[in-house]
Amino acid sequence: MPSEPTSHWVLLALSRYEAPLLRYASAIVGSAQAADVVQDTFLRLCNQDRAAVEPHLRAWLFTVCRNRALDVRRDKRQVEPVAEVDEVMPDNQPGPTEALERREAMRRVLGALDTLPERQREAVLLKFSGDLSYQEIAEVLGTSVSNVGFLLHTALRALREQVEKKDREAGRRNR
Amino acid sequence: MTLSKDDPRLLSYVLGELDEAESREIEAALDGDPEIRAEIDALRMTAEMLREGLAERAPKELPAQQRKVLEEATRETEMPKVAPLRRRLLRPSWLAAAAVALVSIPIGVMLARRNAEPVTEQARKDATAFEAPQKENDKKKTTAPRPKDDTKIDDATRREALRMLQEERAAQGGGVPSQIPKPRRLTARSKPRADENPFVYTTSIARTTFPLDVDTASYSLVERYIQEAGRRPPKDIVRVDELVNAFAYEDPPPFGDEPLAARAEVGYAPWTPSHRLVRLVLKAAPLDSTRRPPANLIFVIDKSPGFAKDPDKLPLLQAALRRVVSRLDAQDWVTLIEHGGPSQEPWLPPTPGDDKPRILTAIDRFEPSGAASPGDSIERAFKAAQAHFVEGGVNRVFLATDEQFAAGSEQGRLAALIRDKATTGISLSTLGFGPMDGPAGQTLKLLAEEGKGSFAPIGGPNDARTALVDEALGTRTPIARDVRVEVDFAPLYVRSFRLIGNEDRTGPEREFLDAWKGPVDLYAGHAVTALYELEPRPDTSGGSEAPPVPYLLTLRVRYKDATGQTSREIEVPLIDDRYRGTQSTDFHFAASVAAFGLLLRDSPFKGEMTLADVVAMAKKSLGTDPGGHRARFVNLLELVEFTPETGRKLPPRKPPPRKGSLCQPGDSLCSEL
């Protein structure tokens, strides 16, 4: 059986993975073009042999999505900053101080994301937007599981350092 | 163990990438070291912010237009290839790829008629229309004589399938559930290979293992194919291991205090008499309601008037809670928290289980009020759970609510919180009162998955009692942890062996599914049966001397007790005692089920076996058959004799009678939903 006449498995895959893929693609090409990239990913899935793809479905989807997204980005010849945060998260949102501080911290972490080396940034995106396992990230990026662990470890440390640095700077300015 | 706070394993731990042994190591180190603990907290915080931040700025689902294109593409995969495309992103270099990928979209169908209708509704209609001619064919084929009373189907199976479909429908409509990444589940099995596991020579491999996380889905599918659609199931949905494990066996329970018992039996392989069939069983102790682990139970109860006033909601819950309380004692803790109430204080602060008057009063006086955010009450519930955490016991938060439940924008954060708490040993179960086929049911189910608990839709008093009493009082506490099995064959007597069934879990390309090889937790009442076919080594002793003891294999089970502290081992050697005919009824019954599976799969190993042989064998080994389950199996076998074989070219698309079904039988994605 090459493929079922009605490829509902693709729809099932869609219902499960569309949100993580959109998160992931948005971080690379921006939210406006993410939908196109994700659509394209699933269109390609339609043409795959289910038995071959399904054992590593998530890794497959993210690999294809990544390639599409990088194509688009290359075409635009500019890196979409991950932190379009300002439009999405207005600073003057009402709310308790704690929530505000949290949002501020989040904004900084996302901002710092763009300062990471490419590989680290990719690993972080796959992990935190797609929730891929180390094994799957390794598959997508074509590296080893232990290297994924190392990339993420280094990336998170760098992110925190960046955020703390900005915290200190902000503290100095306030004084 | 000393750990540097710069150890990459800390992050792996936070992200759930360590296995249980490694996690324990980290937890041990973490207890004694505030610096490490702070580091872990900071990592969690960063991870959470990244998850949340990345989620916030992305669209949650595809725009309707693009979704529609996709739905068309999935439906039309087999149609002639015409590729008129509407897309924003057309670039020359993409065109070729797109033309291949998007196989066809008949223009008229795509744009003309459906703008007004919700996508899922349309998908359902399309599927129904698509199915109609197929149905006609089915009818023609099933005119063969069939015993009337055999066509009834297990209602539970049907309900389950129905619920699955509804949930899936809801998932497609709302797009909500995909916000929470699902934990990978072992039941997500890939399509089994059509070919069977081969015989393995003991000279190359003498040690093996078998999966303990048995599923039984294949049996109900096979049953439905035969009974409802009147045809033999396609080979690849027949999983012999699942068929065998769909039945209850009467093996002796563990002796004394032991949580586990292992058993090994051998006899002729009915399909190839020169071979042996080995039945290996692992059985966990049945649930003992008098001896149970201490419980620390937090009930988060919906306080909206809609919930409290409906006789099928709060009153049901109260009745079940009273029953739970009646079984508690001083070692247990109960907390009640209002969900949706304005108060920050728990309705009932953590109270020891023997203070029954106080708990019962609090349960009875529970009454409706205003509304607040869901996340808040759950957070408070976790705090209460942490405060009276019982080691080695049940630490569980129950969220009882109805179809009005919505986590809204909180869902991502809530899920992260729940996931996080689940790693510390506090689980979350959800109880859904009222119709649960909408987004509320979906959300509750997902939250329970994150919380390593279970989701129970509550339709009546029985549901409420089972869900609460069993869950709260320890049915769901593993009684043996990190269970691993090893089977060592003796090459001296065994030339080769073959694991029957489990085709999709073996072989190099299944690496991703090999999680089953890792340790598994077993719960009270759990039982696993594995069957091996052995090819004995021909007797070369010449017969002059007394033959040595024909020792075939050793089954070794290693596990830790419920606390996870003490490791234990069971060792069962198996001697070839085929001549003595000491096999249990269970052995013969399991053999007949396996033989049936091999026949359905048209396995190259099915030997001389015929369906009539299987029927005879099954009939002789019904045993006491408490639920009449085995008798139904015999009925099923007899029904198969009237059943045409499934053609190779045209696999039945929709054997279940439901119209508009999006789920193919044997669909692992479906079975996971």
Which pLDDT score is estimated for B369?
65
Does position B163 have pLDDT exceeding 60, yes or no?
Answer: no
Tell me the residue type at B40. Answer: I
- Ordered DSSP codes for B389-446: --TTSEEEEEEEEETT---GGGHHHHHHHHHHHHHTT-EEEEEEES--SSHHHHHHHH
Alpha-carbon distance B541 to A62, whole Å?
60
Tokens 């997902």 identify what position?
A: B446
Which pLDDT score is estimated for B195?
65
Which of B15, B171, B191 has its CB closest to that of A54?
B191
Note whether A8 contacts B: Cβ–Cβ < 8 A.
yes
Least confident of B252-261, B374-383, B601-610: B374-383
Q: Measured between beta carbons, which residues in chain B are less than 8 angstroms from residue A109?
A: 46, 49-50, 53
- Ordered DSSP codes for chain A: --S-SS-HHHHHHHHHHHHHHHHHHHHHH-HHHHHHHHHHHHHHHHTS-HHHHGGGHHHHHHHHHHHHHHHHHHHHTSPPPS--HHHHS-TT--S-HHHHHHHHHHHHHHHHHTTS-HHHHHHHHHHHHH---HHHHHHHHTS-HHHHHHHHHHHHHHHHHHHHHHHHHHHHHH-
Does position B155 have pLDDT exceeding 60, yes or no?
Answer: no
Segments making up each domain of chain B, as ranges = 8-56, 66-154, 200-288+479-668, 295-476
% of chain B with per-residue pLDDT over 70? 66
Cα distances from B578 to residues A54, B251, B536, B621, in angstroms, run 42, 19, 12, 17
Report the candidate in B465, B526, B567, B477 with the shortest Cα–Cα distance to residue B292.
B477
Backbone angles phi, psi at B336, to 5 degrees: -115, 135
Q: Which of B171-175, B178-182, B440-444, B667-671 has the highest mean pLDDT?
A: B440-444
Q: Tell me the shortest Cα–Cα distance from A130 to chain B, in angstroms.
A: 8
pLDDT per residue over A72-129, tens digit each? 888 765 555 554 444 444 444 445 677 777 788 888 888 888 888 888 999 999 999 8
Name residues whose C-beta falls within 8 Å of residue B278's C-beta, 6 or more positions apart in sequence.
Answer: B264, B265, B266, B531, B532, B533, B534, B552, B553, B574
Q: What mean pLDDT comes out for the span B394-402?
A: 88
Q: Tell me the shortest Cα–Cα distance from A140 to chain B, in angstroms.
A: 14
Does position B73 have pLDDT exceeding 80, yes or no?
Answer: no
Q: Specify whether the CB–CB gap between B182 and B451 falls below 8 A.
A: no
Does position B465 have pLDDT exceeding 80, yes or no?
Answer: no
Alpha-carbon distance A118 to A136, whole Å?
18
Report the candidate in B14, B582, B223 with the shortest Cα–Cα distance to residue A152.
B14
B66–A26: do the CB atoms touch at under 8 Å? no
Alpha-carbon distance B349 to B336, whole Å?
7
Alpha-carbon distance B520 to B438, whole Å?
33
Q: What is the CATH number of domain B295-476?
A: 3.40.50.410
pLDDT per residue over B469-512, tens digit each? 766 765 556 788 888 888 999 888 888 889 998 776 554 333 33
pLDDT band at B121 (very low <50, low <70, confident <90, very high): very low
CA-nearest residue to B651 within chain A is: A1
Strand partners for B560: B481, B567
Q: Specify whether the CB–CB gap between B51 and B414 falls below 8 A.
A: no
A54–B190: do the CB atoms touch at under 8 Å? yes
Q: Tell me the shortest Cα–Cα distance from A175 to chain B, in angstroms.
A: 26
Identify from B45, B94, B512 which residue to disrupt to test chain A contact, counting A C-beta atoms within 10 A and taking the largest count. B512
A31–B75: do the CB atoms touch at under 8 Å? no
B59–A34: do the CB atoms touch at under 8 Å? yes
Identify from A10, A15, A50 which residue to disrupt to test chain B contact, counting B C-beta atoms within 10 A and taking the largest count. A15
Q: Measured between beta carbons, which residues in chain A are less than 8 angstroms from residue B87?
A: 36, 39
Which pLDDT score is estimated for B115?
37
Least confident of B58-62, B70-74, B432-436, B490-494: B70-74
Using the Cα atoms of residue B78, residue B81, residue B84 and residue B90 in order, give the sign of their dihedral: positive
Q: Specify whether the CB–CB gap between A92 and A124 falls below 8 A.
A: no
Alpha-carbon distance B537 to B493, whole Å?
5
- Category of B124 on φ-ψ map: left (φ > 0), alpha (ψ -120 to 50) or beta: alpha
Which pLDDT score is estimated for B279?
95
Cα distances from B113 to residues A151, B107, B122, B286, in angstroms, run 50, 11, 10, 58
A129–B58: do the CB atoms touch at under 8 Å? yes
Identify from B39, B48, B56, B62 which residue to disrupt to test chain A contact, counting A C-beta atoms within 10 A and taking the largest count. B62
Which of A25, A26, A156 has its CB closest to that of B46?
A156
A144 token code pair = 């080893």
Cα distances from B366 to residues A33, A136, B121, B315, B335, in angstroms, run 51, 48, 40, 10, 13
Report the candidate in B230, B231, B265, B272 with the shortest Cα–Cα distance to residue B251.
B265
Alpha-carbon distance B551 to B576, whole Å?
6
Does position B323 have pLDDT exceeding 60, yes or no?
Answer: yes
Report the candidate in B553, B297, B524 with the shortest Cα–Cα distance to residue B426.
B297
Which pLDDT score is estimated for B594?
95
DSSP state of B78: T
Q: What angle do CA B55, B61, B63 make, to 5 degrees?
A: 135
CA-nearest residue to A158 within chain B is: B46
Q: What mean pLDDT comes out for the span B401-414?
A: 81
Q: Tell me the shortest Cα–Cα distance from A142 to chain B, in angstroms.
A: 16
pLDDT per residue over B3-33, tens digit each? 787 888 889 888 888 888 888 888 888 777 8
Which of B11, B61, B510 has its CB closest to that of A153?
B11
To 10 degrees, what angle do helices A8-29 and B34-56 make?
100
Which of B49, B57, B123 has its CB closest to that of A105?
B49
pLDDT per residue over A129-145, tens digit each? 888 989 889 888 888 88
pLDDT per residue over B106-117, tens digit each? 333 333 333 333
Q: What is the CATH number of domain A86-175?
A: 1.10.10.10
Alpha-carbon distance B195 to B601, whole Å?
9
Length of chain A: 175
Which pLDDT score is estimated for B665?
47
CATH class of B200-288+479-668: mainly beta
Q: Specify whether the CB–CB gap between B353 and B362 falls below 8 A.
A: no
Segments making up each domain of chain A, as ranges = 1-80, 86-175
pLDDT per residue over B198-247, tens digit each? 788 888 778 888 888 766 667 877 887 787 777 788 877 788 998 998 88
Does position A164 have pLDDT exceeding 60, yes or no?
Answer: yes
Which pLDDT score is estimated for B595?
95
Alpha carbon B347 to its chain's center: 35
Interface of A with B in 22-81 (CB under 8 A): 22-23, 25-27, 31, 33-40, 42-44, 46-47, 50-51, 54-56, 71-72, 75
Identify from B7, B18, B19, B49 which residue to disrupt to test chain A contact, counting A C-beta atoms within 10 A and taking the largest count. B49
Burial label, B155 (beta-carbon count in 10 A; 0-12, 13-18, 19+): exposed
% of chain B with per-residue pLDDT over 90? 8
B118 token code pair = 């919700």
Identify from A24, A26, A42 which residue to disrupt to test chain B contact, counting B C-beta atoms within 10 A and taking the largest count. A42
Alpha-carbon distance B65 to B69, whole Å?
6
Does position B185 have pLDDT exceeding 60, yes or no?
Answer: no
CA-nearest residue to B510 within chain A is: A55
Which pLDDT score is estimated for B222?
83
Q: Measured between beta carbons, which residues in chain A are less than 8 angstroms from residue B17?
A: 133-134, 149
Which pLDDT score is estimated for B27?
83
A3–B127: do the CB atoms touch at under 8 Å? no
Average pLDDT of chain B to the nearest whole number: 71
Alpha-carbon distance B568 to B325, whole Å?
34
Which pLDDT score is estimated for A125?
92
Which pLDDT score is estimated for B143?
36
**What is the radius of gyration, based on Cα positions, of chain B?**
28
